[in-house]
Chains A and B, each alone.
Chain A
Amino acid sequence: MSKFITISLATLALMSACELVNLDQLDCSTYPDVPDAVLGEKTPIWIEFSSPVMKSEAELLLKILSPAGNVPGDPSWEGTRLLLTPRSAFEPGVRYVLSFSGEIGTEDGRRFTVSRTVPFFSVSSDLPARLQDSAPPPGGTIGGTAPLTFTFTKAMDTTISADDYFSITPRADFTSEWTDDDTRLVIRPHSHWSPLTLYSWTISAKLRDAAGIALLREYEGSFLIQNPAAPAPVVAALRPALNSAEDRFPPAGGALLPGTRLDSWIGYRDAIRIEFSVPDSPGADDPAHVDFASLQTAFRLSPSVPGSLHCVKTNDGRDECFVFAPDPGQRYRMDTVYHITISRDLANTEGVAMESEFEAWFTPNLPVISVEQIIVSNADSRDVNLTVKKEDFNSYIELDASVPAGYSPDYYTVVFNDDFHIAPEEVYSLADNIELTRVFPETGGPYEKRNAVYLEGTPPGLTVAFWGVPADYGTVFRLRVKGGPEGVVDSRGSYLPRDVFIYFILTEEQP
C-alpha cells in the first residue's frame, strides 16, 4: 500500500515538474481589496487571477451590485486582470458590492469555485442626508400664505432646481429658498395656497447633499390649508355713504342694510359702503383683509348703475373700507328695486372665499313728487284762464282756456306736491323742463321763456312766462312738463315719473 502511494506521489511530482499536471490553486486578488473602500465615481473595479481563466465565464461572474440591483458595466482585460468599468458613474455615497461568485475554469482545464464579495463606496462613504423635520408635520394645518420648511441632516446641493425634486399636488406655483447653511428648504406659495385644500408634497431622491450624495429616499407628506386667523369674509351689511372720494366716502347716516330689503334706503346718488363683520379670530395678529380684486368680480348691482368700486385706505395705507360709488351724473332711479349681490367670488387675501352669497334689495330714498295742477293765465292780467288738475293730465282732449280778446296764454304756474323742493339756483334749470308749443292751426314753438319764479311754500310752485304766445282764438297749445331723470328733478333727486302734458284751446271769454 505504502509503495503504491509513494509511486503515485512520485508520478504526480514528476508530471507536475514536467508541467503535465498542475496542482496549483487559483488565486484571486480584487480591487477594491478591503471592505468599504472609497472609489472614484468612474473608477473600474477588477479581479485578477493567478492563472489565465476562461474569459467569457469570468465576465459573467463579475458583477457590481447596488441597492437598486446590478450595475451595468463594460468588461475589459489586462493580462489575467478582468476590469469592469461602470457605464454610468457610480452614485456618490452608495454602497456597492463587488461580487464574483461561481465556478470558473482555467485555460489549462482546471475548474475552481471562487467567491469574492467586497463592498465599497463611491466618492464618499458618508451617510446620505435624511429629511429630519418638516413644518407643518405631515397632516398639519397652515394658513394660506405660510411657508413649508424642510430640515435636512446635512447641507444640501442648492444648485438643483426645486422643480426637479419637489412636487406638490394639487399643482401650485411656489418659490424655494435654502437657509440655515443650506440645511433648510423653504417653500413659499407665489400668492397663496388654495384655501381648505389638502396638499400632498413629495421630495424625491434627486435632491442631493452638498457632496452629491442622493437623499436617503423619497419623502412625502400632506398638509391642510386652513387658517383660523384668516376666516372667510362675511358681509355684514351695506351702509349709505356720501359720494365723495376726497372725503373718503364718509357714512351718510341712514340705516344699515343687512341681507334683506329696505325701501327708501339711500340718497339718489349716494355711495354704498360694504361693511364686513369682524371675525372672532383669537390669535390673529391682523384680521384677514378682503381681496379687493375679488370684490370687483363678486359685486353686482342690478339694474346696473354706472359706477365703480373704491378701496378706501387709512392714512397709513391700510384698507379701511370698500365703497361702490355711482359715477358723476349717474343716479338711482325712482320706483326701482335694486338688487345687490356679492357672490362667493369674494375672498380674503389668502383666497378664502365667502361662504354664502350676500344679497340685499333696496329702493332709493326718493319721495314721490308730482304735479298737482297747472294754471294757465296771462302775464299782465294774471287772470286765470284755465286750471287743470292732475286727474286730467295727459289727456289729448283739449281743454278750453277762455281769454279776453287780445290776451295770450303766456303765464303758467306748475304746482307741485308738498314734497317737492329745489334750491333757488335750480329754478332756471327746472324751468327748462317746461315747454309750450302750438299745435294748431300751425305748429309753433317751443316758445322762449321770459322769466321763471319759484314759489317755495305749501304747495310749492314754479311760474314761467313765455314770449310771443299768440292770442288767436281756436289756437291749440300743448304744455309739457318733462318727466324722467332727465326732466324735472328736485334737490333730493326725485323726479316726475313721466311727462305731464295738457292740451288747451283758446276760446273767447264769455262775459
Chain B
Amino acid sequence: MKAIRVFRRAAKSIIFPALALCFSGCAALFYVPLEIAAFSPSRAVYSPEERPEVWVEFSAAVDRARAEQAISLSRDGTKLSGRYSWSGDRLSFTSYEAFSTGCRYELRVDTSVEDEYGNSLQRDFVFRFRFGSDTIRPTVLDTHPETEGVDCDPYDHEELGGVLPDDLYHPVTVVFSEPVDRAGFFEAFSLSPAVTGRYEWPTDDTAVFVPAEPYDWQTEYKIKIDTGLKDLEGNTLAEPYTSHFFIGTDRTAPTVLSVESIVPSPARQGDPPEAPLVLAENMIAAGWEADWDIIIAFSEPVTEKSVQTAFSLTPAVDFRTVFDPLSPDRVVLDRAEGSRFRYGETYVLQVKPGIEDRQGNKTANTLFYHFVVNGPYTKPPSIFQIYHLEDIAQNLDPDWNGTWDWMLLHPLDTLAVQPDGEPPLKTSVFDFYFTKAERTTLTAASFAENFRIEYENGCIGVPAYASIRVISPAGAAAASPPLPGGVELAPDQAVVRVCVRLVNTLNGGTLTLRLGREFADQALDNPALHNPLTDDWSLRLRDPD
C-alpha cells in the first residue's frame, strides 16, 4: 500500500504535470508540420470583375519575418510587390498592382516559414489562379499558303511563283479559333528565312502578314507560331504550329542553247559566202573572223543583271554585253568600236555560272568555247617583200641591156638614189608585196595616207611622189615596168607600187620607209569593212653616201 501511495504522490507531483505538459505542447517536443489552414484566392478562375483578397492562414503562430519572406504572389512568373499585414496567424498580401486578365497568377509559400517551434511546411504551398472564364486554348484553324497538316514534312508544301511577280509578295494568312493577343502574336509568329513585312488584322481572329520585300526564289519558307501565342484571356497555343511554302514553280536552270557569231551585213561573198559559225562547248572552232560579234541563246529568258558579268574572253577583248528586254533569251557580246579579235590568236569564251532565269534558277557550270581567229576574210594585210627600181625610165637609156635593175630590199641595204643636181631627174619605184584577205583589195588612198619616207640629217631631198597604184593579180601581167623577176601574184597577194622622185644629198644618213598600222584593206562586198595592219611597219635603209 505504501508503494501505491508513493506512486500516487509521484504521479501527482511529477508524472501528471509532465504528461500534461507533453500533450499540451507536443509541438515543442515533436515534429508537427506547419500547415496552411486556409487561403485566398481559393478558386482557380475568377471573373474579370472579381478582386479577391490575397492571404494565407497558418495552422500555428509563425515567425512573421520568415513568413513574409516565404510568401509570394507572381504574375506570369514575375513576383509582384506589395505590403503585408497580419491578423492573428493570417498573413495578408496587398499587391501594388491590380489583377488583370490574360495573366496567370501564382500564390506560393515556401518551406522557409516556421512556427515558433521551428516546424515548417512539409512542401511548398502553391495555388494558381486566373481571371476570365475562358479556359479553352486557341488553335490555328487555317493558314495560307497552307500545308495539309500541322506537322507537315518538308515536301508537303505549297508552291508559289506561277503568277509573276505577285507571288513574290504573297501574304501569309493565319486564322485562329478565337481572337488572339496581338502583342503575343507578334512575338510568337515567325517566318524563316526572315522577311520584313506588315501585319493586317481583317478580323480579330485573323492575322495577315504582307511581305514588304520580295521572297527569294527557290526558297522554302517556314511559318512558325510558338506556344507564346495567347488568346485574350491568356490561354496559350497547345503546341507550336508550323507550315511552309515554296517560292518557285520552275526548278530548271537555264541552259545555253547556242553560241554563234554575228556576221557583218552585208556579208562577204566568198565561196562559200560568209555565214555564222556555231561554237561547240570544249571544241576549238577554226575560221572565226576578227570582226565578228557573238550571240548567245538561252533555253529561256534570263535576267539582265545576271548576264552582265557572266562572260569573259581570253585574251581580253573590249566588248559590252547587250541585253534587250524584248528578247530576254539571248545576249549579244558586242565588240567596242575599234576593237577586234587578233588574227591568228585562239580565244576562249567563258560563260560563268550564275546566270539566272526569272525564277532564280541559276546555271551551275562554267562553259568554255574556243575559237581560232583565222577566217579568210579578216587576215590583215602584210608586207612580205619590197623591190626598188632606181629609174622607172631605165628602158629609155640607149645602153639599157633589157634587164630591169630591181633590187630586193633588206634592212640597212644601201638604196640607189641619183645624186642631187644630176640630170636627168629619175623617178624610182618601190613595189610593196602584200598578202591579203579574201574578197579584199588594197587601196592607194589608204596607202598614201599611211605611208611615209622618213630620213635623217637631210641625207636625201624631199621625196616627190608621182603616183601610188595597186597592182592586183589580174593586172600583174600588164604592169609597167613589169613586176620584178616576172613574179606572178597569187590570188591572196597584191602589190602597191609607189613612184617617187628621190635625190641624194651630200649629207650621209639613213632613210626609213614607214607604213602606219591604220593602213587597211577594203572589203569588196561591204565598203565599211577594213582589215588594218597588225602593227606599224618600217624598213630602214642607207643612202649612198
- Give every chain A residue within 8 A of B464 (Cβ-Cβ): 441
Whether, in the assembled complex, B482 has its beta carbon less than 8 Å from a beta carbon of chain A, the answer is no
Inter-subunit contact B520/A396 (CB<8 Å): yes
- Give every chain A residue within 8 A of B522 (Cβ-Cβ): 395-397
Give complex CA distance A469, B528 in Å. 27
Give complex CA distance A217, B80 in Å. 8
Size of the chain A interface, CB-CB below 8 angstroms: 59
- Give every chain A residue within 8 A of B13 (Cβ-Cβ): 1
Least CB distance from A357 to B in Å reads 9
- Give every chain B residue within 8 A of A196 (Cβ-Cβ): 196-198, 212
* Cross-chain contact of A222 among B9, B83, B186 (Cβ < 8 A): B186
* Cross-chain contact of B198 among A99, A217, A226 (Cβ < 8 A): A226
* Cross-chain contact of B65 among A101, A216, A337 (Cβ < 8 A): A101
Nearest A residue to B197 by beta-carbon distance?
A: A196
Least CB distance from B276 to A in Å reads 22
Whether, in the assembled complex, B184 has its beta carbon less than 8 Å from a beta carbon of chain A, the answer is yes
Inter-subunit contact A130/B186 (CB<8 Å): no
* Cross-chain contact of A226 among B199, B214, B449 (Cβ < 8 A): B199
* Cross-chain contact of B527 among A127, A195, A395, A440 (Cβ < 8 A): A395
Tell which of A221, A391, A439 has the most Cβ of chain B within 10 Å.
Answer: A439
Question: Interface readout for A36-76 with B: 1 if CB under 8 Å, 0 if not?
Answer: 00000000000000000000000000010101010000000
- Give every chain A residue within 8 A of B449 (Cβ-Cβ): 439, 443, 478
Inter-subunit contact B213/A355 (CB<8 Å): yes
Whether, in the assembled complex, B84 has its beta carbon less than 8 Å from a beta carbon of chain A, the answer is yes
Give complex CA distance A72, B521 in Å. 104
* Cross-chain contact of A440 among B168, B182, B185, B445 (Cβ < 8 A): B445
Question: Interface readout for A375-394 with B: 1 if CB under 8 Å, 0 if not?
Answer: 00000000000000001111
Whether, in the assembled complex, A374 has its beta carbon less than 8 Å from a beta carbon of chain B, the answer is no
Inter-subunit contact A503/B183 (CB<8 Å): no
Whether, in the assembled complex, A115 has its beta carbon less than 8 Å from a beta carbon of chain B, the answer is yes
Inter-subunit contact A398/B445 (CB<8 Å): yes
Whether, in the assembled complex, B441 has its beta carbon less than 8 Å from a beta carbon of chain A, the answer is yes
Inter-subunit contact B169/A394 (CB<8 Å): no
Least CB distance from B516 to A in Å reads 12
Whether, in the assembled complex, B534 has its beta carbon less than 8 Å from a beta carbon of chain A, the answer is no
Least CB distance from A113 to B in Å reads 8
Give complex CA distance A222, B185 in Å. 11
Tell which of B168, B183, B211 has the most Cβ of chain A within 10 Å.
Answer: B183
Least CB distance from A502 to B in Å reads 10
- Give every chain A residue within 8 A of B448 (Cβ-Cβ): 439-441, 476
* Cross-chain contact of B63 among A115, A119, A128 (Cβ < 8 A): A115
Question: Interface readout for A438-451 with B: 1 if CB under 8 Å, 0 if not?
Answer: 01111100000000
Question: Interface readout for B172-208 with A: 1 if CB under 8 Å, 0 if not?
Answer: 0000000001111111000000001111000000000
Whether, in the assembled complex, B3 has its beta carbon less than 8 Å from a beta carbon of chain A, the answer is no
- Give every chain A residue within 8 A of B304 (Cβ-Cβ): 339
Whether, in the assembled complex, A353 has its beta carbon less than 8 Å from a beta carbon of chain B, the answer is yes
Inter-subunit contact B96/A391 (CB<8 Å): no
From 55 to 111 in chain B, residues with beta carbon under 8 angstroms from any chain A beta carbon are 63-66, 68-69, 78, 80-81, 83-84, 96-97
- Give every chain A residue within 8 A of B466 (Cβ-Cβ): 441
Inter-subunit contact B84/A119 (CB<8 Å): yes
* Cross-chain contact of B186 among A198, A392, A395 (Cβ < 8 A): A198
Question: Interface readout for A469-495 with B: 1 if CB under 8 Å, 0 if not?
Answer: 000001010100000000000000000
- Give every chain B residue within 8 A of A325 (Cβ-Cβ): none
Give complex CA distance A54, B65 in Å. 23
Give complex CA distance A310, B468 in Å. 60
Inter-subunit contact A442/B465 (CB<8 Å): yes
Least CB distance from A270 to B in Å reads 21
Least CB distance from A394 to B in Å reads 5
- Give every chain B residue within 8 A of A142 (Cβ-Cβ): none
Whether, in the assembled complex, A139 has its beta carbon less than 8 Å from a beta carbon of chain B, the answer is yes
Nearest B residue to A232 by beta-carbon distance?
A: B212
How many contacting A-B pairs (Cβ < 8 A)? 133
* Cross-chain contact of A216 among B68, B97, B196 (Cβ < 8 A): B97
Whether, in the assembled complex, A276 has its beta carbon less than 8 Å from a beta carbon of chain B, the answer is no
Least CB distance from B160 to A in Å reads 16
- Give every chain B residue within 8 A of A344 (Cβ-Cβ): 213
Whether, in the assembled complex, B326 has its beta carbon less than 8 Å from a beta carbon of chain A, the answer is yes
Inter-subunit contact A396/B212 (CB<8 Å): no
Give complex CA distance A79, B468 in Å. 135
From 215 to 248 in chain A, residues with beta carbon under 8 angstroms from any chain B beta carbon are 216-217, 221-222, 224, 226, 232
Give complex CA distance A397, B182 in Å. 84
Inter-subunit contact B97/A476 (CB<8 Å): no
Q: Answer whether A97 and B68 are a contact pair too, CB < 8 Å, given A394-B527, A474-B467.
A: yes
Question: Interface readout for B156-167 with A: 1 if CB under 8 Å, 0 if not?
Answer: 000000000100
Q: Answer whether A128 and B81 are a contact pair too, CB < 8 Å, given A216-B96, A395-B522.
A: yes
- Give every chain B residue within 8 A of A140 (Cβ-Cβ): 182-183
Whether, in the assembled complex, B530 has its beta carbon less than 8 Å from a beta carbon of chain A, the answer is yes
Give complex CA distance A117, B63 in Å. 8
Whether, in the assembled complex, A306 has its beta carbon less than 8 Å from a beta carbon of chain B, the answer is no
- Give every chain B residue within 8 A of A217 (Cβ-Cβ): 78, 80-81
* Cross-chain contact of A130 among B65, B96, B444 (Cβ < 8 A): B96
From 84 to 115 in chain A, residues with beta carbon under 8 angstroms from any chain B beta carbon are 95, 97, 99, 101, 115
Inter-subunit contact B324/A337 (CB<8 Å): yes
Q: Answer whether A355 and B169 are a contact pair too, CB < 8 Å, given A139-B181, A396-B445.
A: yes
- Give every chain B residue within 8 A of A361 (Cβ-Cβ): 325
- Give every chain A residue within 8 A of B465 (Cβ-Cβ): 440-442
Nearest B residue to A391 by beta-carbon distance?
A: B527
Whether, in the assembled complex, A251 has its beta carbon less than 8 Å from a beta carbon of chain B, the answer is no
Whether, in the assembled complex, B446 has its beta carbon less than 8 Å from a beta carbon of chain A, the answer is yes
Whether, in the assembled complex, B116 has its beta carbon less than 8 Å from a beta carbon of chain A, the answer is yes
Nearest B residue to A98 by beta-carbon distance?
A: B65
Give complex CA distance A439, B443 in Å. 12
Inter-subunit contact A476/B445 (CB<8 Å): yes
Question: Interface readout for B386-403 with A: 1 if CB under 8 Å, 0 if not?
Answer: 000000000000000000
- Give every chain B residue within 8 A of A442 (Cβ-Cβ): 465
From 21 to 80 in chain B, residues with beta carbon under 8 angstroms from any chain A beta carbon are 63-66, 68-69, 78, 80
Q: Answer whether A101 and B169 are a contact pair too, CB < 8 Å, given A139-B186, A226-B199, A395-B522.
A: no
Give complex CA distance A99, B527 in Å. 113
Inter-subunit contact B169/A440 (CB<8 Å): no
Least CB distance from B92 to A in Å reads 13
Question: Interface readout for A135-149 with B: 1 if CB under 8 Å, 0 if not?
Answer: 001111100000000
Inter-subunit contact B445/A503 (CB<8 Å): yes
Whether, in the assembled complex, A11 has its beta carbon less than 8 Å from a beta carbon of chain B, the answer is no
* Cross-chain contact of A353 among B182, B213, B324 (Cβ < 8 A): B213
- Give every chain B residue within 8 A of A138 (Cβ-Cβ): 183
Residue positions of A touching B, CB distance < 8 A: 1, 63, 65, 67, 69, 95, 97, 99, 101, 115, 117, 119, 127-128, 130, 137-141, 195-198, 216-217, 221-222, 224, 226, 232, 261, 337, 339, 344, 352-353, 355-356, 361, 391-398, 439-443, 474, 476, 478, 498, 503, 505
Known: A95-B83, A101-B66. 12 other contacts (CB 8 A): A128-B81, A138-B183, A139-B183, A139-B186, A195-B196, A198-B186, A216-B97, A261-B326, A393-B527, A439-B449, A474-B467, A476-B448
* 13 cross-chain CB contacts under 8 A: A65-B65, A69-B69, A97-B65, A127-B96, A140-B182, A195-B196, A222-B187, A344-B213, A396-B520, A440-B445, A441-B448, A474-B467, A478-B445
Residue positions of B touching A, CB distance < 8 A: 9, 13, 63-66, 68-69, 78, 80-81, 83-84, 96-97, 116, 165, 168-169, 181-187, 196-199, 211-214, 304, 322, 324-326, 337, 441, 443-446, 448-449, 464-468, 520-522, 527-528, 530
Sorted nearest first, the 6 A-B pairs with minimum C-beta distance are A139-B183, A395-B527, A396-B443, A441-B465, A503-B445, A440-B448
